[in-house]
Amino acid sequence: MDQDRTLHAMRATSLGSLTRTSRRWGAGRVCTHQGCLTQLSTYNPTELCAVHQHDVQISYRAPRRSKRDIALDAADTWDYIEEYRSTA
């Protein structure tokens, strides 16, 4: 390795330690629609199965971040990197 080059390293955290477990609802629940015997998933927060959820739409997507928030996060990251480089 060249003596002129400096190796900079950053520590990382595995994604597994940052994720949280999915919320669960009671096991053994059955759709409450009259005559339906469908067993509901423990991940389904409603009292109806997918077939009988005509007007119910659940969004599991995270809200979109504004370009300003993304830019601020990037600026903070670069500030951290520059600070780290100056102390190394």
Instruction: Give the residue with greater pLDDT, 10 vs 79.
Output: 79
The answer to whether residue 3 scores a pLDDT higher than 60 is: no
DSSP, residue by residue, the chain? --TT----------HHHH--PPP---TT-B--STT--PBPPTT--SSS-GGG-SS-----SPPPPPHHHHHHHHHHHHHHHHHHHHH-
pLDDT of residue 6: 56
Q: Give yes or no for residue 31 having a pLDDT over 80.
A: yes
Q: Which residues partner with 39 through β-bridges?
A: 30
pLDDT at 26 over 80: yes
Mean pLDDT of all residues in 18-32: 85
76 or 4, which is more confident? Answer: 76
Residue 35 has pLDDT above 90, yes or no: yes
Residues 6+ apart with CB under 8 A from 85: 8
